[in-house]
Amino acid sequence: MATEVDTWSSAAQADGMFSFDDNLAEANRPYSVDEDLNESEVNGNWTPQEKALHEARLKAKAKRRLRKSSSRNSTSESFSESGDLVGGDPHSPKGKVNTNDRKSRTGKGRGLPKKGGAGGKGVWGAAGMVYEDEEPDVRDPNYDESSQGDTIYATVVPEVDERELEKMVNPIVQEYFEHGDTKEVQMLLKGLNLGPHKYEFSSLAVSLSLEGKASHRELTSRLLSDLTGKLLSQSDMARAFDKILKELPDLILDTPEAPQMLGQFIARAIADHILPMSFLDCYKGKVDCEHARVALDRAAVLLTMKREMVRLDNVWGVGGGLRPVKHLIKEMNLLLKEYLISGDVMEAERCLRDLEVPHFHHELVYETIVMVLESKGDTASHMMIKLLKSFWKTGLITVDQMNRGFQRVYEELPEINLDVPHAHSIMETFVDLCYQESVITKQLRDACPSRGRKRFVSEGDGGVIKT
């Protein structure tokens, strides 16, 4: 029996199972060179250097043993009194704990998660935690006492540079010439921070209209009238026109009639209460530029002639599609009557171009044919054919407008015949002459309606209608 106990003890030591007390004692025990070295090795076979090297190896081996014993000590403390592992799986190899477990691995805690379950990556805090507003810290280096309170966010629009003003204003004015909506221009200008240069918008708009058509100048006058009192004041308008008067020597290079046009702008602006009545008086005897004097004299003459009118509506003529249809029809009738008196085709062509209504030229063709039907003699017919031929050759009246004017007369010929009994015969003659002069096409000539005539046979046939 004693032999079995000795065998078991030796086997346990061979397997590396040491108790903690034995390991600690062995680690703390000082090593002696004489005990570990064999007598055969000490008897003159070891040099002092080899002896020192062997001693260092033994000390390193002792340190490894001490480190291994300390790790076994921490593992043994993790066992409870019942022998179970704390925080680990008892059936796991070598007593390893679960790496995904968030509990303490030292075994010294109460077995609860770290930070009460509020810690870890991607965790915003414990469940049900409510964060309150933090009061600003006075000791914060970014603390500003004057900025505390309700924070107000506002859009800050930088002020437009004077060099970029023309690039930003030109597209707005050019688009306005197309649509004619002053409210849209106001909305666009409100989005720009023009600053002290806002008066230059008026001067740029007038300069662009001088290079355009009469309808553009009429639209510019309306725009200035609508902007005054809302975005621009009378003093801003006065500064704008003063700048244009100084720039007349340069404007006259591109627009020779700029002084007369600027005078009309000034007269219209004073009549619309855009400029003060004393605007012209400020320049009396103080103007050295000849072109500026011409513009101011033109404005003074117009104001003297139109003193009784509140607005100089017709200062730019009656052109443009913004005029009423009845007004355009009246102007076309006056144009034709003046032509029948003077016979000047060039003047009639200029007046028609000034109307600036190419989409409404079919009305001129219609009025021309009606005048021919209502006239007496062949003089009016030949003069009107000459006028239509001239308009056709110059391209002022297109094929569509010409055909539409004749077709309108064809459709209304029965009603015209009530006032003009011989309208059908006059119309047929006029259409044949227009075809001979190559004013209309053969299809349009063939489409001319003709009144059917009932022809009776001789008296001996009893008055039977010939079929």
Residue-wise pLDDT tens digits, 418-441 = 888 888 899 999 999 999 998 999
DSSP 281: G
Instruction: Please say if the pLDDT value at position 413 is more than 50.
Output: yes
Which stretches of 124-280 are DSSP H helices?
A: 162-179, 182-190, 200-210, 214-227, 234-246, 248-254, 258-271
**Angstrom distance (rounded) from CA 32 to CA 39:** 13
The pLDDT tens digits of the residues spanning 361-403 come to 999 999 999 999 998 888 899 999 999 999 988 888 988 999 9
Average pLDDT over residues 181-192: 89
DSSP 312: -
Q: Which of these, 197, 196, 206, lies nearest to 241 by C-alpha position?
A: 206
Give CA–CA dist 422/418, Å, rounded.
Answer: 9
The whole-angstrom separation of Cα 148 and Cα 136 is 9
Q: What is the pLDDT of residues 34-84, one digit of tens each?
A: 444 454 454 457 788 888 888 888 988 888 888 777 666 555 554 444 444
Please tell me the pTM assigned to this model.
Answer: 0.49
The two structure tokens encoding residue 238: 């006065």
Hey, how many other C-beta atoms are within 10 angstroms of the C-beta on 283? 15
Q: Based on DSSP, count helices (H) and strands (E) in the chain, helices before strands.
A: 20, 0
> Pick the residue with more confidence: 455 or 239?
239
Least confident of 96-100, 188-192, 209-213, 267-271: 96-100
Q: What integer pLDDT is reported at residue 74 of this predicted model?
A: 56
Q: If you search the block for the tokens 């002459």, which residue do you land on?
A: 433
Closest of 247, 248, 243, 271 to residue 259, by C-alpha: 248
Average pLDDT value for residue range 222-227:
91
Comparing CA positions, the residue from 448, 414, 417 lying closest to residue 432 is 448
Task: Report CA dihedral (93, 96, 100, 102) to the nearest 10 degrees.
Answer: 150
Task: Please state, as a whole number, how many other Cβ atoms lie within 10 Å of the Cβ of residue 12.
Answer: 12
Rg of the chain in Å (alpha carbons): 55
The dihedral formed by the CA atoms of 119, 123, 129 and 135, expressed in degrees to the nearest 10: 90
66: closest CA among 14, 24, 32?
24
Burial label for 281, CB within 10 Å (0-12, 13-18, 19+), is: exposed
Report the percentage of the chain scoring pLDDT > 70.
Answer: 72
Question: Is there a contact between 274 and 311 (Cβ–Cβ < 8 Å)?
Answer: no
First to last CA, the chain: 159
The predicted pLDDT at position 17 comes to 42
